Amino acid sequence: MRIRRFEGGRTANGARGVRAAVLGAVLSAAVLASGVPAQAAVAETGQSVRAAEVAAEQRPAQPAAERGAQARAARGGQYGYHYEYFVSRRTATAQVSFRKMNRIMNSVFPIPGMPKTVKKGQKICLKGGGRCNPVRVTKVGKTYFRLKSLPGHLEGAGKVITFTLKKKSGGRLYLDVRAKGPKTAWQRHPLGGGANKLFAKGMWGMYATNLSSAAQYNLI
């Protein structure tokens, strides 16, 4: 997005007139304070103003993502967490384990409402806290799937959470969970935010435990 200079609807001549008036006021104060002759001060101040304008015009536009992050920080910060859980010592690839898991998702996911298989674009009603917490499946890869909370979700809309199966040394299988998004009002409070992370850590720990049980029967 390009940054455009906004002049309040004035014409170029009008804008120059306003700039000249402001420059005159600055110049008067500078002359009174320093005793520099008016003509020299005009030249020096005019060059400084023009240099500042050129610098502003040449400054690269701030990326939209960066502006968004700054806006969220101003409103109370960015929500997020990252947890990793050991699942199994099986030596099957993460791709094979994920493909199997996505045939029994409703049996291993710890929150009721998940379908048997997740597919990109699905809208899912996760049941918790006595309500429907709507999410959408935004991406499904070879070893991961991603959910985004929708309006009406208990934790607020715009939360993005990614569940990934990873293989590490010795063929060990792990569940990696990453979440991010804007904070809701109650998550900005230290107690609310801390409790939310503890709840999430326990919930996804149950997910890993379910996967471990499934692995014992070669279901993932």
Q: Is the pLDDT of residue 28 over 90?
A: no
Please indicate whether residue 39 or residue 179 has the higher confidence score (pLDDT): 179
> In the prediction, which pLDDT does 119 show?
98
C-alpha distances (whole Å) from 106 to each of 33, 49, 128, 210, 212 are 77, 65, 15, 11, 15
Range 65-76 average pLDDT: 48
Q: Is the pLDDT of residue 189 over 90?
A: no
Q: Work out the pLDDT band at 63, boundaries 50, 70, 90.
A: low
Contacts of residue 8, defined as CB under 8 A and 6 or more positions apart, other chains included, come to none
Q: Work out the pLDDT band at 32, boundaries 50, 70, 90.
A: very low
Please indicate whether residue 10 or residue 132 has the higher confidence score (pLDDT): 132
Range 212-220 average pLDDT: 94
Range 127-142 average pLDDT: 94
Q: Is the pLDDT of residue 179 over 90?
A: yes
Assigned token pair, 57: 């015009």
Q: Is the pLDDT of residue 39 over 80?
A: no
Range 7-23 average pLDDT: 39
For the purposes of burial, counting CB atoms within 10 Å of the CB of 185, is it exposed (0-12), middle (13-18) or buried (19 or more)? Answer: exposed
Q: Work out the pLDDT band at 192, boundaries 50, 70, 90.
A: low
> In the prediction, which pLDDT does 92 show?
84
- What does the alpha-carbon distance between residue 211 and residue 54 come to, in Å, rounded to a whole number? 60
Q: Is the pLDDT of residue 157 over 60?
A: yes
> In the prediction, which pLDDT does 188 show?
72
Question: DSSP assignment, residue 2?
Answer: -
Helix (H, G, I), strand (E, B) or coil at 168: coil
Helix (H, G, I), strand (E, B) or coil at 196: helix
Kindly state the percentage of the chain with pLDDT values over 70: 62
Per-residue pLDDT tens digits for 112-131: 999 999 999 999 999 988 89
Range 130-143 average pLDDT: 96
